[in-house]
Amino acid sequence: MIHRGLRRLIPIVTLGLMTAVGRTAYADSDEDADEVATYAIQRRLFRVGLELNGGAGILPINAFDKGFTASGSVTWHFNSVLAWEIAQGSYVFAQLDTGLKKQLMENFAVQPTELATPLFLGSSNLVFTPFYGKLAGMNRSVNHVEVFFPVGLAMARYDNPGQWQEGIDLGLGLRWFLDSHLSARLDARDFLLTPGIKEFSLTNELLFAVGLSVAFGGAER
């Protein structure tokens, strides 16, 4: 349970970061000017200063209970590449029993002694946004999207036993710009948490969330 989600997410994030750091274009001395790199240089249609995000998510990784969350975040974008997600929180408002406990009980007459379930996940992250692009929608529209990678410190409140755990989180997100103030976000976050050094154990929580963001400020057009 702990490492499965991590194994999936880390390569994606790493690959994304590596791909983003491309070569700088150089004008070769032997190159002719008409062969020198040509760029379409455009002002961004959508720029974000302060961002408020709200949405819903799911914690799918726990085999016994699937948690449903109400999520939100406050982010300050320093520029189009770097931002600080000042606070991100996901409150688990419902748990869906998968029936595994019952199956274990009925088939094997066993039941887990302690089933820690998350009640709240929170984090504060640096957000790196190396990808920004356009998608042609059925050859009729142009849609602007960006892909971002949050990395930061995280904490979570668990029930049964009731305790706080701390750790880190990292993720992958997609933002779909709806207009200059509104965007839809799809987030995947992996939380690596531990109750403490003395009683070290690693808990992995995967959070998928969809949300709507409202942007204020930035360099308005």
DSSP 25: P
94 in contact with other proteins (CB under 8 A): no
**Do β-strands 117-137 and 50-59 pair in parallel, antiparallel, or remain unpaired?**
unpaired
Q: Which of 76, 84, 120, 132 is close enough to bind other proteins by CB under 8 A? A: 132
147 in contact with other proteins (CB under 8 A): no
17 in contact with other proteins (CB under 8 A): no
Q: How many positions of this chain bind other proteins (CB under 8 A)?
A: 30
**Residue (of 165, 187, 168) closest to 51 by Cα position:** 187
18 in contact with other proteins (CB under 8 A): no
How would you class 208 by CB atoms within 10 Å of its CB: exposed for 0-12, middle for 13-18, buried for 19 or more?
middle
Rounded to an integer, what distance in angstroms lies between the CA atom of residue 178 and that of residue 198? 47
Contacts of 67 (CB under 8 A, 6+ apart): 58, 59, 92, 94, 95, 96, 117, 118
Q: Which of 18, 29, 109, 198 is close enough to bind other proteins by CB under 8 A? A: 29
- Count other C-beta atoms under 10 Å from residue 141's C-beta: 9
The span of 72-80, 112-120, 187-195, 206-214 binding other proteins (CB under 8 A) equals: 72-80
81 in contact with other proteins (CB under 8 A): yes
Near other proteins in 36-65, by CB under 8 A: 36-44, 47
212 in contact with other proteins (CB under 8 A): no
Residues of this chain that interact with other proteins (CB under 8 A) are 24-29, 32-34, 36-44, 47, 78-82, 132-134, 136, 142, 219
